[in-house]
Protein backbone atom coordinates (compact mmCIF):
# COMPACT_ATOMS: atom_id res chain seq x y z
CA UNK A 1 0.00 0.00 0.00
CA UNK A 2 1.31 3.45 -0.90
CA UNK A 3 0.33 6.80 0.48
CA UNK A 4 0.42 9.76 -1.86
CA UNK A 5 1.34 13.16 -0.51
CA UNK A 6 0.90 16.32 -2.54
CA UNK A 7 3.84 18.57 -1.80
CA UNK A 8 2.41 21.30 -3.99
CA UNK A 9 -0.42 21.78 -1.46
CA UNK A 10 2.10 21.95 1.38
CA UNK A 11 4.19 24.47 -0.55
CA UNK A 12 1.11 26.59 -1.26
CA UNK A 13 0.08 26.47 2.41
CA UNK A 14 3.60 27.45 3.44
CA UNK A 15 3.67 30.38 1.01
CA UNK A 16 0.28 31.55 2.34
CA UNK A 17 1.57 31.22 5.90
CA UNK A 18 4.69 33.25 5.10
CA UNK A 19 2.59 35.94 3.39
CA UNK A 20 0.15 36.12 6.33
CA UNK A 21 3.00 36.20 8.83
CA UNK A 22 4.70 38.99 6.88
CA UNK A 23 1.44 40.97 6.84
CA UNK A 24 1.04 40.48 10.60
CA UNK A 25 4.60 41.59 11.30
CA UNK A 26 4.14 44.63 9.04
CA UNK A 27 1.00 45.55 10.97
CA UNK A 28 2.88 45.21 14.28
CA UNK A 29 5.72 47.33 12.90
CA UNK A 30 3.27 49.99 11.68
CA UNK A 31 1.43 50.12 15.03
CA UNK A 32 4.64 50.25 17.03
CA UNK A 33 6.28 52.91 14.85
CA UNK A 34 3.13 55.03 15.05
CA UNK A 35 3.25 54.69 18.84
CA UNK A 36 6.95 55.65 18.86
CA UNK A 37 6.24 58.62 16.60
CA UNK A 38 3.45 59.77 18.89
CA UNK A 39 5.63 59.34 22.00
CA UNK A 40 8.49 61.32 20.45
CA UNK A 41 6.10 64.25 19.89
CA UNK A 42 4.85 64.42 23.47
CA UNK A 43 5.97 67.24 25.78
CA UNK A 44 9.31 66.50 27.37
CA UNK A 45 10.65 64.56 24.39
CA UNK A 46 11.07 66.79 21.33
CA UNK A 47 12.27 70.35 21.84
CA UNK A 48 9.63 72.82 20.65
CA UNK A 49 10.32 76.39 19.59
CA UNK A 50 8.20 76.80 16.47
CA UNK A 51 6.75 73.28 16.25
CA UNK A 52 8.38 72.53 12.88
CA UNK A 53 10.56 69.74 14.25
CA UNK A 54 7.65 68.17 16.12
CA UNK A 55 5.40 68.24 13.05
CA UNK A 56 8.14 66.78 10.85
CA UNK A 57 8.56 63.53 12.81
CA UNK A 58 7.13 60.68 10.79
CA UNK A 59 7.57 56.96 10.20
CA UNK A 60 7.49 54.49 7.34
CA UNK A 61 7.38 50.74 6.88
CA UNK A 62 8.45 48.69 3.91
CA UNK A 63 8.34 44.99 3.13
CA UNK A 64 11.15 43.59 1.01
CA UNK A 65 12.09 40.10 -0.07
CA UNK A 66 15.49 38.90 -1.16
CA UNK A 67 16.37 36.52 -3.99
CA UNK A 68 15.75 33.52 -1.71
CA UNK A 69 12.23 34.69 -0.88
CA UNK A 70 13.06 35.76 2.66
CA UNK A 71 10.78 38.58 3.72
CA UNK A 72 12.09 41.58 5.64
CA UNK A 73 10.03 44.26 7.32
CA UNK A 74 11.90 47.52 7.52
CA UNK A 75 10.68 50.40 9.65
CA UNK A 76 12.03 53.89 10.11
CA UNK A 77 11.17 56.87 12.26
CA UNK A 78 12.72 60.28 11.86
CA UNK A 79 12.55 63.80 10.52
CA UNK A 80 13.67 65.51 7.34
CA UNK A 81 14.25 68.84 9.11
CA UNK A 82 17.85 70.00 8.71
CA UNK A 83 18.49 70.49 12.43
CA UNK A 84 16.74 67.29 13.61
CA UNK A 85 20.00 65.33 13.81
CA UNK A 86 21.82 67.80 16.03
CA UNK A 87 18.78 68.12 18.29
CA UNK A 88 18.65 64.32 18.59
CA UNK A 89 22.34 63.57 19.12
CA UNK A 90 23.81 66.95 20.07
CA UNK A 91 27.08 68.49 18.90
CA UNK A 92 28.81 71.72 18.06
CA UNK A 93 27.13 74.08 15.64
CA UNK A 94 27.03 77.71 14.51
CA UNK A 95 29.84 79.89 13.22
CA UNK A 96 33.11 78.25 14.09
CA UNK A 97 31.18 75.52 15.90
CA UNK A 98 31.13 77.72 18.99
CA UNK A 99 27.65 76.67 20.12
CA UNK A 100 27.26 73.30 21.80
CA UNK A 101 23.86 71.62 21.78
CA UNK A 102 23.19 68.79 24.21
CA UNK A 103 21.42 65.86 22.55
CA UNK A 104 17.75 65.49 23.47
CA UNK A 105 17.48 61.90 22.19
CA UNK A 106 13.74 62.43 21.65
CA UNK A 107 13.42 59.67 19.05
CA UNK A 108 15.89 57.32 20.76
CA UNK A 109 13.99 57.63 24.06
CA UNK A 110 10.65 57.10 22.33
CA UNK A 111 11.99 53.94 20.68
CA UNK A 112 13.46 52.61 23.92
CA UNK A 113 10.32 53.40 25.91
CA UNK A 114 8.13 51.48 23.44
CA UNK A 115 10.31 48.40 22.87
CA UNK A 116 8.39 46.35 25.46
CA UNK A 117 5.18 46.94 23.49
CA UNK A 118 6.90 45.76 20.32
CA UNK A 119 8.13 42.63 22.07
CA UNK A 120 4.62 41.90 23.40
CA UNK A 121 3.07 42.35 19.96
CA UNK A 122 5.63 40.08 18.30
CA UNK A 123 5.17 37.46 21.03
CA UNK A 124 1.42 37.56 20.39
CA UNK A 125 2.01 36.84 16.69
CA UNK A 126 4.22 33.87 17.55
CA UNK A 127 1.57 32.57 19.92
CA UNK A 128 -1.25 32.98 17.41
CA UNK A 129 0.67 31.36 14.55
CA UNK A 130 1.33 28.17 16.57
CA UNK A 131 -2.35 27.29 16.81
Q: Is residue 39 part of a domain?
A: yes
Q: Is residue 114 part of a domain?
A: yes
**pLDDT tens across 62-111, in order?**
878 778 877 777 889 999 999 999 999 999 999 999 999 999 999 999 99
> Do the beta carbons of residue 46 and residue 110 sit within 8 Å?
no
Q: How far apart are CA 32 and CA 124, in angstroms?
A: 14
Percent of the chain having pLDDT more than 90?
53
Count of structural domains within the chain: 1
**pLDDT tens across 36-46, in order?**
999 999 999 99
Q: How far apart are CA 120 and CA 114, in angstroms?
A: 10
Which candidate, 66, 104, 58, places its Cα nearest to that of 85? 104
Q: Is residue 74 part of a domain?
A: yes
The answer on pLDDT for 9 being more than 70 is: no
Tell me the residue range of the domain where 48 lies: 8-79+107-130
Amino acid sequence: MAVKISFSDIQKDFKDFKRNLADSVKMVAEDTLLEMQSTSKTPGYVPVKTGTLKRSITHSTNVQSDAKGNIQNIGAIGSNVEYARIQEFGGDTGRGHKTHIVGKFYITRAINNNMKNLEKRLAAIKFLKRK
